[in-house]
Structure 1
Amino acid sequence: MAAAGGGSSKRTWVVDMEKKLKEADKSSEVSRWERHCIYRVPPCMTNIKSKAYQPQVVSLGPFHHGDSDLRPMEEHKCQALRQLLQRTERTFDELVDGLEDIAEQLEGMYMDLDGEWRRDGRERLLAMMIFDGCFLLEVMRCTADDGKQVGDYAHNDPIFSPHGILRPKLGLNMVAYIRRDMVMLENQLPLLLLQKLVEVENGNPPNDDFINRMVLKFLAQSSGPVPPGIGLGLHPLDVFRRSMLTGKCHQILSPQGIEEDNAIIRSALKLYEAGIRFKPSKTLSLHDIQFRSGTLSVPTVSVDDSTEYMFLNVMPFERLHVGVGNDVTDYVFFMNNIIDSAKNVALLSSKGIIQKAIGSDQAVANLFNTISRDVMLEPNSALVAVQRQVNGYFWKPWDVRRANLIHTYLRSPWAFLSLAAAIFLLGMTVMQTIYTVMQFYRDDNSSPPPSAPSPT
């Protein structure tokens, strides 16, 4: 019998714990963590706007499955699956067979998956993902056909008919809500699932670029393309993020002599008053931010109702997924620095850098100032070098004086004409003064000398 105080005989649970610790292997831990790519957003990140992480109309994946507000869409998922099977002449059993070999991979992609999804094996998880995946495929196909009916849906179907695709709701249609739910980190479906479903449908596996393009076309028609040959995206949010970061970061040498404390860039208005010009970058890539010869190039960004949701979900993904990078978070930090008031938004809008569709300039300023809370710039970010380039130019006395001259007198034809007229009048005045002085001395030298007095 084991001693109460822990004698020579160890308690059973202690022996079990020591065995578990010995069996723990670092390589297996690395392998387990590498599989995760869909995460629950921790409370410390959701305090900015909790609504931005909660899907509004449809659950995709296990984290929000069964939420009371999202249950009405489950009927439409059944309808989508039924139509897909009829159209492709497949059975539900064939879909299950096609996905069984990747079931473990799909499960491993979700971090902190509730035990209820594992309790009955993977059958429940697999069934749920088939319903969600087929629903997503049908929605994307209906939209890709510009509202044309896909399959044999009822003419008044609230989701899949042309009427459903285009039906307005509070200024948005239902597809707009689904699109916004698709970029929420907790509401992701693996693209591996979509690829496998299309393979079962057609009998041939689609290539990675096909799946990437299909998802991106649905999510953002105005975004940059996903470069071919990069491999299958992890999920829709990952593909969307990649489309924002096309092209390579510019290699920039930081100017010497700029103190660390001065690495924070000034607001757009202060930079403009110092003569720094702004223009849209040649591409929409967030990598395409450059400073050359007194001009700061920044990619055009469209700010609408979904912008805040998108950034608030991309940034946690960058924080939680090791190795993905911090590029979008760095961009948000950069924009927050140059936008500290509505006047800065008005300036950047006039230069074509911000295209706003959410109302006032102040609303846009509030958006960037809010979502950047608790955000830091990576020390090795290319934007650190850009900020130091700008500040190096900003603090050169001659550049500032020359810039102020240009900003004050050469920014419009009328200002230039006024300056030219003032210089002309000053020149004429100086010339007239010189002529008058010279004429005075000439007249003085040409006058006859005084005659000598006559003798008396």
Structure 2
Amino acid sequence: MERILERKNPWMPEMKQWMRPSIYRVPEWLNSMTKREAYQPQVVSLGPFHHGERNLKPMEEHKHRLMLHMVKRSGKPLAQFIAAIKKVAERLQEAYDGLDEKWCGENTDRFVDVMVTDGAFLLEMMTCTSTGQVPSDYAPYDPIFSDHSILSLWAYIQSDMILVENQVPLLALQTLEAVRNNGTSPGNTYINKMVGNFVCPKLSKGNLPTEIIDVLGLHPLDVFHKCFCALSHTWSPDLKRSGQRETLMLSAAELREAGVHFKKSKTQSFRDIEFNKGVLSMPLVEIGDTSERMFLNLMAFERLHCSAGNDVTAYIIFMDNIIDSERDVALLKSKGVLKNFLSSDKAAAELFNSLGNGITLDPNSKICHVQWKVDMHCKKPWPKLQASFKHTYMRNPWVFISGVAAVILLSLTILQTIYTIMPFYKKN
């Protein structure tokens, strides 16, 4: 210990060690707080963490088969792909936090085999998506590339690709693609867009700023995360107001009663939440059977990887705050900011309420600032009076007509009274 303290900077080895990993095993404390099965692949293992698990073995044959198709079509020997991955094997190993010794040292060849096989498997599928065509060397009823499989199987593979423990570094894909392209390395943008088009086709097209797509993503989950959290501008803490603090939001139904209007944002980025002049703009979000799994892995990535930020976590806290019951879900659906494909609105409300357990909001986040602005607006009396009048008299035409008629009748009564007593005072 004395020798360590005598070094000029004894913490530098630790700093380098903790900056390298980007693929993590979900710790037990997080498993116990959420759902362990949400982090387990269902169909295919990618990378070493889940390789060889019994329920995933049926896909191993197909991974090797797709890898051989890619190698044969490239016209390059398999040894050339293996040699290329060996050159970057150390960097690839460093991406995995706590990688077991059975994949390192003398066993590095085993690790290289997994990177080549899994990387080629992903390249084959993503190339098919990018080109819109299935390579001609696959049979019409191929178990992976048939029309039936694309409809029934690919959604599960895409879901497994965004699990925090089930990742392959994009460096491996770029290296394999360089060999396939006669030694010409594809640009970072090409790899990022190819991955984005596969894991989140609705969000990746035209939504990623240049500064994001020009830097090679860490792995498919990282690209997926950026698709949901990208904006052309960034949040600046300098925009905070003095005295701002974390505030709890009212539910959506209560906000409407306080005069807040809901509007769909221009993008689907979780960062695209604004409040201006009584209008709360929110991104459209679609909730389905895989949403819980998706959100849990995105939030786990943010918790485990320091540079991932906390945009998804902040968004979930925000949604948990404004959704208390199925009434709030129904309101958000009517405003076009939520699509619910679950069995009921109650199920959607329970989903957001469960996802918000055990997470905290960064007081410097944009969401915290938005909540503060909404809270300040709701404390003003005039918006509440306007909203109360509209909800009472404007939501139904007959109620409005009855109100107008009552006002007219009251006015006529007052006029009649005035004209009745005026002659008396004139006479006197």
TM-score band by shorter chain is over 0.9
Aligned to 2:208: 226
Partner residue of 2:344 out of 360, 373, 380: 360
In 1, the alpha carbon distance for the partners of 2:124 and 2:63 equals: 9
1:295-374 counterparts in 2 under 5 A? Answer: 295-374=279-358
Q: CA deviation at 1:137?
A: 1.1
User: Quick check: 1:266 aligned with 2:258?
Assistant: no
Letter in 2 for 1:113: L
Aligned to 1:184: 163
Aligned to 1:27: 12
In 1, the alpha carbon distance for the partners of 2:6 and 2:142 equals: 58
Q: CA deviation at 1:311?
A: 0.9
Aligned to 1:215: 195
Residues 368-426 of structure 1: CA deviation (Å, up to 9, x unaligned): 11111101000111111111111111112233223322332234544443332222222
Task: Evaluate the alpha carbon distance shift between residue 91 and residue 257 of structure 1 in structure 2; reply closer, same or farther with a 3 A threshold.
Answer: closer
Task: Evaluate the alpha carbon distance shift between residue 124 and residue 25 of structure 1 in structure 2; reply closer, same or farther with a 3 A threshold.
Answer: farther
User: Quick check: 1:206 aligned with 2:180?
Assistant: no
- How big is the alpha-carbon RMSD for the aligned residues of Structure 1 and Structure 2? 2.1
In 2, the alpha carbon distance for the partners of 1:396 and 1:254 equals: 20
- Percent identical pairs in the alignment equals 46
Letter in 2 for 1:36: P
Letter in 2 for 1:99: I
Aligned to 1:7: none
Aligned to 1:101: 87
Q: CA deviation at 1:249?
A: 4.0
User: Quick check: 1:290 aligned with 2:274?
Assistant: yes
Letter in 2 for 1:331: Y
Aligned to 1:388: 372
Residues 287-321 of structure 1: CA deviation (Å, up to 9, x unaligned): 11111111111111011122111110111111111
Letter in 1 for 2:262: F
Task: Evaluate the alpha carbon distance shift between residue 213 and residue 257 of structure 1 in structure 2; reply closer, same or farther with a 3 A threshold.
Answer: closer
Q: CA deviation at 1:193?
A: 0.8
1:41-440 counterparts in 2 under 5 A? Answer: 41-47=26-32, 48-146=34-132, 148-166=133-151, 173-203=152-182, 204-224=184-204, 225-230=207-212, 231-247=215-231, 248-250=233-235, 253-254=239-240, 260=245, 263-411=247-395, 413-440=397-424
Provide the secondary structure at the position in 1 that maps to 2:271: coil
Q: Which has more radius of gyration? A: 1
Provide the secondary structure at the position in 2 that maps to 1:45: helix
Letter in 1 for 2:153: M
Q: Which structure is higher in helix share?
A: 2
Residues 60-86 of structure 1: CA deviation (Å, up to 9, x unaligned): 000000100000000001110111011
* Structure 1 stretch displaced more, 43-52 or 17-26: 17-26
Task: Evaluate the alpha carbon distance shift between residue 414 and residue 241 of structure 1 in structure 2; reply closer, same or farther with a 3 A threshold.
Answer: farther
* Structure 1 stretches lacking a partner, 5+ long: 1-16, 167-172, 446-456
* Structure 1 stretch displaced more, 363-372 or 394-403: 394-403
Provide the secondary structure at the position in 2 that maps to 1:283: coil
In 2, the alpha carbon distance for the partners of 1:386 and 1:251 equals: 13
Task: Evaluate the alpha carbon distance shift between residue 331 and residue 112 of structure 1 in structure 2; reply closer, same or farther with a 3 A threshold.
Answer: same
Q: CA deviation at 1:332?
A: 0.6
Provide the secondary structure at the position in 2 that maps to 1:244: helix
Contact residue 209 and residue 229 of structure 1 kept, 8 A: no
In 1, the alpha carbon distance for the partners of 2:399 and 2:236 equals: 38
Contact residue 129 and residue 197 of structure 2 kept, 8 A: no
Q: CA deviation at 1:223?
A: 1.6
Letter in 2 for 1:222: K
Contact residue 159 and residue 165 of structure 1 kept, 8 A: yes
Contact residue 275 and residue 406 of structure 1 kept, 8 A: no
In 1, the alpha carbon distance for the partners of 2:281 and 2:402 equals: 30
Letter in 1 for 2:263: K
Contact residue 141 and residue 150 of structure 1 kept, 8 A: no
In 2, the alpha carbon distance for the partners of 1:151 and 1:82 equals: 14
Contact residue 85 and residue 115 of structure 2 kept, 8 A: no
In 1, the alpha carbon distance for the partners of 2:135 and 2:342 equals: 33
What TM-score, normalized to structure 2? 0.92
Q: CA deviation at 1:121?
A: 3.8
* Structure 1 stretch displaced more, 55-64 or 98-107: 98-107
Letter in 2 for 1:315: M
Q: CA deviation at 1:105?
A: 0.4
In 2, the alpha carbon distance for the partners of 1:206 and 1:367 equals: 40
